[in-house]
């Protein structure tokens, strides 16, 4: 009998993944068997001699592929969280195989014939609303994968899917490679301006790399504080140029070679399905609905942000002149002088503020906020084995008992994917029996003793925990509708609205406590922090919006196969008047949202779209005069519970009472006066 744990029942607490038993070598065998079992199940559904019914077709589809889903969830999460050479090799090998498998399911003619027949008579089936939506969304998925194409075009769709899977995997691995390979070694003489928390993080980074002294890495939690505090302009320049050059080095890890092919394949796919560009293909299944609607949003925000950023630049120049810098502010200067201006205008010093934001306290703040809003409890479970010593586990309960399991993996380390994200090891469902979710949050905070967060880091933790709540509070029948399985430009709403509770004064008073004394954040400092929240928003909005505009331009290109990526980037940014002293938040060669997968391709605007929703939506609580208003919290919980069982705008209007307004975003970012001006 095989000793592969994927083939055995998991008797661990809550059916948790037995991380202590799973090895990389178990994954290929399990993936192969999972695909084989799934195809056999699909063939059986397609060949069923009975007339198609919702039960024998759609529900049978929902039950199919259980082993493959289990293995894929575990494997995909371990690749992102651990990134070992063994896992990366398996990932590169299986990415096209899994893509081919997916297309074999999506393009099975017998299966689609049954789904199409049900779709054609859906109004007469008497289905419950969630089942009707599942049928409609399943049918749409088949069509968007090419189920109505001729045989030759189907074959081409399948081949493109395989190739894209390989390219996406290579792109992501190339970025991770560059982040692992580069560091800036620092001696004592190079630490000018760096507060103790930055030095501590640099000491930890050097120790992890086996070198003496200090090291700055390309992780955002390492390099951004360095760019903020270092008074060594030469070192800031070196670090910044390395940061923006990820994926852009000649040789086997050059993403400039991959991007044109990815874009060309996406365009070909869109045209096979009847769309002029990939942008139109993506927009057809979003809340935004059209490229024009997205452009209206980005144009309005861009104009206000540029106006604000110009004023910010002029103020930064005044301070830079004091340092003898008589030329222009450069991108590696902005964060440094912005911090200097913030200190001068708001009497806020990040080095003074950060000792009050201890990782464990902010994690507890996120938990206790969920307790006050939704009645959740988080019980530490150190007995649950992890995939890495950094991982921690909690059982989540509410008044009715067990809800799910929450995992947190908060530290940056070599090989781990950069950024921050939420994912799942198991999704909630209740089709045949109640299945509780297992949700994970990954962050990349610089380790310290203790680990201290910036306010932005703390917001990131709250953001990802908002995603986690979307998965944990899901109350759906069918697994395909669970948790975050919603339209891309709606999925960021639960995460972004949750960020608001970090800035609630009561949250800061309770949980922002000094790591040595335990004293609360002094009230004057708290008020200055809140007053400064819109400081530098011109910069922040410009760097984000530029990336969103660049994303849409890349995916609207009519002939990207021979694209000079760097030249096109310069052309697009020049066309919108990108301020030269600000860099786009993501350059194409390390823009993993777009090219390490298709999730946010022609969809990076989603964060901005969702901010309209979250800024407007938090108005429910503001209007009630209580950030924990029970009635508003209950309505918000219904959105989190609903998953993809209902139209997202319908859910939002039920929550808010009306459709969202862009003015809420501009007001939240302090840009409304700029837009009106």
Structure token pair of residue 240: 């910044």
Residues 381 and 527 in one domain: yes
Q: Are strands 184-186 and 401-411 parallel, antiparallel or unpaired?
A: unpaired
Do 125 and 238 lie in one domain? The reply is no
Residue 529: name the closest of 390, 353, 280 by CA: 353
The arithmetic mean of pLDDT across residues 476-491, rounded, is 97
User: pLDDT band at residue 674, thresholds of 50, 70 and 90?
Assistant: low
126 plus 207 within the same structural domain: no
Tell me whether residue 638 is exposed, middle or buried, using C-beta atoms within 10 angstroms of its C-beta: 0 to 12, 13 to 18, 19 or more: middle
Taking the C-alpha atoms of residue 562 and residue 588, their distance in angstroms, rounded to an integer, is 15
- Return the exposure string of 65-91: e unless at least 16 CB atoms fall within 10 Å of the residue's CB, then b: bebbebbbbbbbbbbbbbbeeebbebb
% of the chain beyond a pLDDT of 90: 96
Domain boundary among 213, 228, 244: 244
Q: Is residue 429 part of a domain?
A: yes
How many CA within 13 A on the CB side of residue 675? 19
**Is the bond leading into 63 cis (omega within 30 degrees of zero)?**
no
pLDDT tens track for 235-285? 999 999 999 999 999 999 999 999 999 999 999 999 999 999 999 999 999
- Residue 404 pLDDT > 80, yes or no? yes
Residues near 230 by Cβ (< 8 Å), separated by ≥ 6?
Answer: 192, 193, 194, 236, 239, 336
Please determine, for residue 536, whether its predicted confidence score (pLDDT) is greater than 50.
Answer: yes
Residue 521 lies in a domain: yes
Nearest 5 degrees, angle CA 56-CA 61-CA 62? 110
Q: Pairing relation of β-strands 214-216 and 438-445?
A: unpaired
Is 395 known to be catalytic? no
Structure confidence at residue 448 (pLDDT): 87
| Residue 511 belongs to domain with CATH number | 1.10.1370.40
Sheet of strand 377-380, all strands in order from the earlier edge strand to the far edge: 377-380, 392-398, 401-411, 438-445, 421-426
Q: Does any domain span residue 205? A: yes
Whether 136 and 189 share a structural domain: no
Tell me the chain's radius of gyration from C-alpha atoms: 25
Residues 130 and 188 grouped into a single domain: no
Q: Is the pLDDT of residue 675 over 80?
A: no
Is residue 285, in this structure, part of any structural domain at all? no
What pLDDT is recorded for position 284?
Answer: 97
Query: Does 522 lie in the same domain as 376?
Result: yes
Q: Is the same domain home to 360 and 481?
A: yes
Q: Which of 244, 267, 293 is the last residue of a domain?
A: 244
Answer yes or no: is 587 within a domain: no
Name which of 269, 260, 270 is nearest 588 in CA terms: 260
* pLDDT at residue 1, rounded to an integer: 43
pLDDT tens, position by position, 603-645: 999 999 999 999 999 999 999 999 999 999 999 999 999 999 9
Q: Is residue 626 assigned to a domain?
A: no
Alpha carbon distance 464, 496 (integer Å):
9
Average pLDDT estimate for 146-158: 98
H or E stretch covering 444 = strand 438-445
pLDDT one-digit tens code per residue, 560-600: 999 999 999 999 999 999 999 999 999 999 999 999 999 99
Residues of the chain with pLDDT > 70, as a percent, come to 99
Task: Please state the domain count of the chain.
Answer: 3
| Sequence-ordered alpha helix ranges (H) in 278-388 | 278-283, 291-322, 331-346, 350-353, 359-374
Q: Which of 464, 492, 581, 611 is an active site residue?
A: 464
| Residue at 164 is within a domain | no
Choosing from 531, 552, 567, the residue where a domain stops is 531
Q: Mean pLDDT score of the chain, rounded to an integer?
A: 96
Closest residue by Cα to residue 537 from 600, 467, 611:
611
Cα–Cα distance, 462 to 118 (Å, whole number): 42
- The answer to whether residues 361 and 500 belong to one domain is yes
What gap in Å lies between CA 208 and CA 206, rounded to an integer? Answer: 5
Give first-to-last CA distance, the chain, whole Å. Answer: 73
Place of tokens 């902010």: 362
Closest CA to 190 of 238, 244, 246: 238
The stretch 204-213 carries a mean pLDDT of: 93
Is residue 526 located within the same domain as residue 467? yes
Cα–Cα nearest to 288, from 552, 28, 98: 552
Residue 428 lies in a domain: yes
Looking up residue 21, the CATH number of its domain turns out to be 1.20.1050.40
Residues 15 and 136 in one domain: yes
Give the range of the structural domain holding residue 444, as residue numbers without chain letter: 355-531
Residue 211's contacts (CB-CB under 8 Å, 6 or more residues apart) are 183, 185
Same domain, residue pair 385 and 526: yes
Instruction: Decide if pLDDT at 316 tops 60.
Output: yes
Per-residue pLDDT, 349: 86
Angle at 209 between CA 206 and CA 212, to 5 degrees: 45
Gap between the Cα atoms of 152 and 167, Å rounded: 23
365/497 same-domain check: yes
């Amino acid at each position: 009998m095989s000793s592969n744990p994927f083939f055995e029942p998991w008797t661990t607490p809550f059916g948790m993944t037995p991380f202590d038993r799973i090895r990389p070598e178990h994954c290929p065998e399990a993936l192969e068997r999972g695909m084989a079992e799934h195809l056999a199940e699909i063939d059986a559904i397609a060949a069923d001699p009975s007339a198609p019914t919702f039960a024998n077709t759609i529900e049978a589809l929902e039950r199919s592929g259980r082993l493959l889903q289990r293995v894929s969830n575990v494997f995909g999460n371990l690749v992102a969280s651990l990134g070992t050479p063994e896992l990366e090799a398996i990932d590169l090998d299986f990415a096209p195989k899994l893509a081919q498998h997916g297309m074999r399911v999506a393009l099975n003619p017998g299966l689609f014939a049954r789904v199409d027949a049900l779709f054609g008579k859906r109004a007469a089936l008497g289905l419950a609303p969630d089942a009707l939506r599942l049928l409609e969304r399943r049918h749409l998925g088949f069509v968007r994968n090419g189920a109505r194409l001729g045989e030759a075009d189907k074959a081409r769709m399948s081949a493109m899917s395989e190739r894209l899977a390989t390219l996406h995997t290579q792109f992501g691995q190339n970025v991770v490679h560059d982040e692992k390979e580069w560091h800036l070694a620092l001696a004592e003489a190079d630490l000018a301006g760096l507060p103790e928390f930055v030095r501590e993080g640099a000491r930890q980074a050097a120790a992890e790399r086996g070198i003496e002294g200090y090291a700055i890495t390309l992780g955002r939690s390492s390099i951004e504080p360095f760019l903020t505090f270092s008074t060594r302009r030469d070192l800031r320049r070196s670090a910044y140029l390395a940061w923006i050059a990820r994926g852009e080095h000649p040789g086997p890890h050059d993403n400039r070679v991959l991007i044109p092919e990815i874009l060309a394949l996406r365009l070909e796919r869109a045209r096979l399905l009847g769309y002029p560009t990939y942008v139109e293909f993506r927009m057809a299944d979003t809340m935004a609905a059209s490229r024009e609607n997205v452009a209206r949003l980005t144009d309005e925000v861009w104009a206000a942000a540029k106006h604000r950023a110009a004023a910010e630049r002029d103020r930064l120049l005044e301070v830079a002149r004091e340092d003898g810098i008589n030329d222009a502010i450069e991108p590696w200067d902005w964060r440094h002088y912005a911090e200097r201006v913030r200190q001068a205008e708001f009497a806020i010093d990040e080095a003074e503020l950060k000792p009050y934001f201890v990782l464990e306290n902010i994690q507890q703040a996120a938990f206790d906020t969920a307790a006050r809003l939704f009645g959740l409890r988080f019980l530490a479970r150190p007995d649950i084995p992890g995939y890495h010593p950094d991982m921690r586990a909690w059982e989540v309960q509410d008044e009715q008992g067990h809800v799910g399991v929450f995992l947190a993996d908060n530290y940056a380390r070599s090989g781990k994917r950069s950024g921050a994200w939420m994912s799942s090891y198991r999704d909630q469902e209740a089709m045949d029996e109640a299945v509780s979710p297992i949700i994970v949050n990954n962050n990349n905070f610089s380790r310290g003793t203790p680990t201290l967060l910036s306010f932005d880091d703390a917001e990131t933790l709250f953001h990802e925990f908002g995603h986690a709540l979307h998965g944990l509070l899901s109350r759906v029948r069918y697994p395909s509708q669970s948790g975050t399985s919603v339209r891309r430009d709606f999925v960021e709403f639960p995460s972004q609205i949750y960020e608001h509770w970090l800035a609630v004064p009561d949250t800061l008073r309770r949980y922002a406590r000094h790591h040595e004394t335990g004293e609360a954040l002094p009230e004057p400092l708290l008020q200055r922090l809140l007053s400064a929240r819109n400081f530098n928003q011109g910069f922040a909005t410009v760097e984000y919006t530029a990336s969103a505009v660049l994303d849409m331009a890349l995916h609207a290109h009519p002939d990207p196969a021979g694209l000079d990526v760097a030249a096109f980037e310069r052309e697009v940014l020049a066309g919108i008047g990108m301020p030269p002293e600000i860099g786009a938040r993501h350059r194409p060669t390390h823009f993993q949202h777009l090219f390490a997968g298709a999730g946010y391709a022609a969809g990076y605007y989603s964060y901005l779209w969702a901010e309209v929703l979250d800024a407007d939506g938090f108005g429910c609580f503001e209007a009630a005069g209580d950030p924990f208003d029970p009635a508003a919290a209950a309505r918000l919980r219904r959105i989190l519970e609903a998953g993809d069982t209902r139209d997202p705008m319908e859910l939002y209007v039920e929550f808010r009472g009306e459709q969202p307004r862009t003015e809420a975003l501009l007001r939240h970012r302090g840009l409304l006066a700029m837009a009106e001006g």
